[in-house]
A and B are shown apart, each in its own frame.
Chain A
Amino acid sequence: MSDLDDFKATYFDECSELLTELEEQFSAIEEGERDADRLNAVFRAIHSIKGGAGAFGFSALVGFAHAYETLLDYVRDGRVDLTDEVVNLCIRANDIVADHVNAAQTGEALPANYGAAEKTRFDAIARGDAVETDDDGGAPMDEFDIEFTPVRVDLEVFADGEAPVDDAFEVPPMTTMEAGQWEIRFTPHQALYARANDPLLLFRELAALGRMSVRPVLRAIPPISDFEPFGVYASWEISIVSPTVTEAAIREVFEFVEGDCDISIVDASLGGVNPPPEVLVEPVWEAPDEIASLLQLSDDEVAPAFTPEPAAVAVGAQDHFEEAPGLSFAALAEELKTLAPPKAPPAPVESAPVAAAPKAALPSSGDGDEHGARTAGVQSIRVDLDKVDRVVNMVGELVITQSMLTQQMDETLRARYTELVRGLEVLAQTTRGLQDSVMAIRAQPVKSVFSRMPRLVRELATKTGKKIKLETIGEATEIDKTVIEQLSDPLTHMIRNSADHGIETPEKRLAGGKSETGTIRLSAEQAGGNILIIVEDDGAGINRERVLKLARDKGIVAPELTPTDEQIDQLIFAPGFSTAEAVSDISGRGVGMDVVLSNIKKIGGSVHVRSWTGKGTRMTLRLPLTLAVLDVMLVKVGGGPYVVPLSSIVETMQCSRASFERVPSGGKVLQVRGEYVQVIDLAQRFEIGTEVAAADRFVVLCETEGSHKVALVVDDIIGQQQVVIKSLEENFERVEGIAGGTILGDGNVALIVDVQGLKTTPLHQSAA
């Protein structure tokens, strides 16, 4: 039970990867890159989703995926042109597949005919095209035409040169067949056994479809002198009688061995079509003596190839052959065990020389493009994230210990123990390298989040009736996995916001002299120790008057305050704030944007909005590159240690050298190179007493979002170091002005100052 659940979980994991891949491929296809590789990738993805779905019995998904796959197959073969219409249908189909997968995962039921319209479109497109190919019909079709005329059958398969013309029983897969008797001829290739498939299992599945009889065709067995231990000499003829079975159902049984065998499926009830040539059910095994002698031989000469066990069964099966020409299923099962070449030969004679060069042997086992592509997967492994996290944590602790050790080295020690110093230097380098490598394991391209957005934008465009184009830039930028996971919700909200409030209706856009289609640009870039994710639209921009009025009405901003434009823009992140005149089902309930802010803050990032009236809005997420280790400046406030992220520090200076100015509110501003910067005294803000004389204190000039500066006044500056960020919320709750905690070399906890949070607090506080 739990095993199956495990498999399911893996399947859904894979599905989400495959769906991402689909999204990617189609966005490239949409741009015009319509090469075969992309189509093949799409086909493989859908096929894999379908295959897994079949194994778990998600029949709705299988049904839809199958129809979709059929269309793709036609496109791949060139029978259907990849027109824009088809591409759009495919993109829509991807969404439906995603919905099906989602429904299967959550156990929710989709409407019974969900996707039926698209399914009909697939068929229509496939058929429509089939008519065309019919016209320029190839030569082989004529002869089939004659044979098949009594029944209306789509013949598109035969238009393709690939169709196994030499096989008289081939029938197009798209046809819906009537009930009756089916004749199947199944000739496995060696590859089928090499991939550890067992015909017996296939027969069992077939047997579930209806009344079945199986006849082995053993004519191909050569005389013992030419007998290859691993050769494949058996084929089978199977007939199934069932009123309900369709060709598709039969094909499905063989789905996973396609390409590793020849199969022909013929509806015998159509009559006369298939006198299978020489259906003589003759288990021609005329030389039992030879077999017997072979068995005797086996001990010495062929020993490694034949284990005694199957040999014994072979003798048992032998009897069945002689007494029953029309073999029963059970007997066949026995027979199969012996006739099928040993699947994992214990010590195959042939492979002995190969064993010396195992690497060379590998490619030969995976022939065919699809399989070749899959073997590349061996290069990566799936590892439980917890395990990686444990390593990350330990490396973090190691980094701290290392920096603590380095700090212990004073000048006298340095002079006396040069070897120790050198050792510590090497240790420092190694830890740094180790840390980078571990972080690289966790890093993932933002593509995994970005790729979900095109669909969102499509849906939003449909719902709002606007024309919206999404551009993504810098998808390959890598961020820590935890950050990526936390990114999905905020991005969704931001894009919704842009689509709903930012982009105008086509009419308004045209009236405003813009192009009809609005653009949302989603980009990611690395900037120092941060990652910037920017959501930009070319819409109307933030209506500041209305935002301010609403904020005042809702009591978010006190009436006497006059916030700057920038502060007004930031108000859209205040809890309970929404400017949408009508609450739509997309956004407007005022719960979206404050979620963005809190999610981003939770991962140590910040959000900044800039808006240009009539031109658009830009929202910038600044995220830490990694969550685990942070370069910080250690400072002292009121006797306690605090750390300020180094990435936000511009410069530090002594208070006695800084020029403070007073402002009417009683606060101070700092003049730095002609710029006036808000001053925050940490001791005051954190309500901790300080005994340090004002002149001896220090100013830490920090840069926050959007290159706005803030000056923090602290008692002392201790130095730089690396720290591991620890959550306060894990055991406590969020504390205003504090981004988290960290453990110093002496084992004490130091708090991480939330610079951006400090800067924005006053507005909210005076409002409350």
Chain B
Amino acid sequence: MEALSLRDDVSDKTALAGQNTLQLIAFSIGEQTYGVEITTVREIRAWNGATPLPNTREFVRGVINLRGTIVPIFDLRARFGDGQTSPTKNHVVVVMSVGDKWVGILVDAVSDILTVSKDDIHNVPEGNSIDTELLNGIVTHDSRMVGLIDLHAVVSGAKMDG
């Protein structure tokens, strides 16, 4: 028992040491690049349609069958208030785990895997509440801005009001 917890401690420490850097999956929506931590990503798949859900907000594109489980798809563009994406076969669904749930995010394309230092994460400038609500922070990579998506915020508020 004791030996076991000791080992846990050790692994925690080594994990922490390596965690000063962050690996991101970067994807694009129009010209903009966004990223999510790579550890949350479960799967990337091409857009293949979704069954629309009634009585939900426009950014909920519907549900898909992921190996027997029903997974909701969120349209990130619509979530940012830029209108629904008109998806083609070239669009991509990034399946991620948020808490104990799996969700898919519809994006234009997956562009890169980035390794950034945690120290390089900037705060989201105050101003527009949508930005601060949906982004956790901003990093710069190759002089591009990459917004770190707050997944919890993105998937919340899916139901129609009233």
Residues of chain A touching chain B, judged by Cβ–Cβ distance below 8 Å, are: 1, 393, 397, 640-641, 685-688, 726-728, 730-733, 735-738, 741, 743, 747-751, 765, 768
Residues of chain B touching chain A, judged by Cβ–Cβ distance below 8 Å, are: 1, 49-56, 62-65, 68-72, 101-103, 158-159, 162
Tell me if A735 and B70 are in contact (CB < 8 A).
no
Main secondary structure of the interface of B (DSSP, over half): strand
Chain A residues with CB under 8 A of B64: 749
Chain A residues with CB under 8 A of B102: 731
Q: In angstroms, how far is the closest chain B Cβ from the Cβ of A421?
A: 28
- The listed residue (B50, B51, B56) touching A641 by CB distance below 8 A is B51
- The listed residue (A686, A688, A749) touching B70 by CB distance below 8 A is A749
Nearest-CB residue, chain A, relative to B51: A749
Chain B residues with CB under 8 A of A738: 53-55
- Asked, given contacts A1-B1, A749-B51, A751-B51, whether A730 binds B56 with beta carbons under 8 Å apart, the answer is no
Nearest-CB residue, chain A, relative to B50: A749
Nearest-CB residue, chain B, relative to A727: B70
Q: In angstroms, how far is the closest chain A Cβ from the Cβ of B102?
A: 5
A148 to B50, CA, bound (A): 88
Tell me if A726 and B69 are in contact (CB < 8 A).
yes
With contacts A727-B70, A749-B65 known, what are 7 further pairs, Cβ within 8 A? A686-B54, A741-B51, A749-B63, A749-B64, A751-B63, A765-B162, A768-B162
Chain A residues with CB under 8 A of B158: 732-733
Tell me if B71 and A748 are in contact (CB < 8 A).
no
- Asked, given contacts A743-B68, A749-B70, A751-B51, whether A731 binds B103 with beta carbons under 8 Å apart, the answer is yes
Q: In angstroms, how far is the closest chain B Cβ from the Cβ of A54?
A: 25
- Asked, given contacts A1-B1, A749-B65, whether A732 binds B54 with beta carbons under 8 Å apart, the answer is no
A728 to B56, CA, bound (A): 13
Chain A residues with CB under 8 A of B62: 749
Tell me if A640 and B52 are in contact (CB < 8 A).
yes
Chain B residues with CB under 8 A of A641: 51
Chain A residues with CB under 8 A of B63: 728, 732, 741, 749, 751
Nearest-CB residue, chain B, relative to A397: B68
A741 to B54, CA, bound (A): 12
Tell me if A685 and B54 are in contact (CB < 8 A).
yes
Q: In angstroms, how far is the closest chain A Cβ from the Cβ of B152?
A: 13
Main secondary structure of the interface of A (DSSP, over half): loop
A752 to B103, CA, bound (A): 20
A730 to B65, CA, bound (A): 13
A743 to B54, CA, bound (A): 17
Tell me if B65 and A735 are in contact (CB < 8 A).
no
Chain A residues with CB under 8 A of B55: 686-687, 735-738
A685 to B162, CA, bound (A): 14
Q: What are 5 A-B pairs at a CB distance below 8 A?
A: A687-B55, A737-B55, A738-B55, A749-B62, A751-B53
A393 to B54, CA, bound (A): 27
Please give me the 7 A-B residue pairs with the lowest Cβ-Cβ distance, nearest first: A686-B54, A732-B72, A749-B51, A741-B70, A731-B101, A743-B65, A736-B55
- Asked, given contacts A733-B158, A749-B64, whether A728 binds B54 with beta carbons under 8 Å apart, the answer is no
Q: In angstroms, how far is the closest chain A Cβ from the Cβ of B68?
A: 7
Q: In angstroms, how far is the closest chain A Cβ from the Cβ of B137?
A: 26
A685 to B55, CA, bound (A): 8
A185 to B51, CA, bound (A): 79
Chain A residues with CB under 8 A of B56: 735
- Asked, given contacts A688-B54, A749-B63, whether A732 binds B68 with beta carbons under 8 Å apart, the answer is no
Tell me if A748 and B72 are in contact (CB < 8 A).
no
A737 to B159, CA, bound (A): 12
Q: In angstroms, how far is the closest chain A Cβ from the Cβ of B113?
A: 25
Tell me if A687 and B101 are in contact (CB < 8 A).
no
Q: In angstroms, how far is the closest chain B Cβ from the Cβ of A522?
A: 35
Chain B residues with CB under 8 A of A748: 49, 51, 65
- Asked, given contacts A747-B65, A749-B64, A749-B65, whether A730 binds B54 with beta carbons under 8 Å apart, the answer is no
Nearest-CB residue, chain B, relative to A743: B65
A730 to B97, CA, bound (A): 12
A26 to B47, CA, bound (A): 62
Chain B residues with CB under 8 A of A765: 162
A457 to B112, CA, bound (A): 64
A685 to B54, CA, bound (A): 8
Q: In angstroms, how far is the closest chain A Cβ from the Cβ of B135?
A: 23
- Asked, given contacts A1-B1, A749-B64, whether A732 binds B70 with beta carbons under 8 Å apart, the answer is yes
Q: In angstroms, how far is the closest chain B Cβ from the Cβ of A602?
A: 15
- Asked, given contacts A686-B55, A687-B55, A749-B51, whether A731 binds B1 with beta carbons under 8 Å apart, the answer is no
A89 to B103, CA, bound (A): 56
Chain B residues with CB under 8 A of A768: 162
A736 to B102, CA, bound (A): 21
Chain B residues with CB under 8 A of A685: 54
A765 to B62, CA, bound (A): 23
Chain A residues with CB under 8 A of B159: 733, 735-736
- The listed residue (A1, A393, A735, A747) touching B53 by CB distance below 8 A is A735
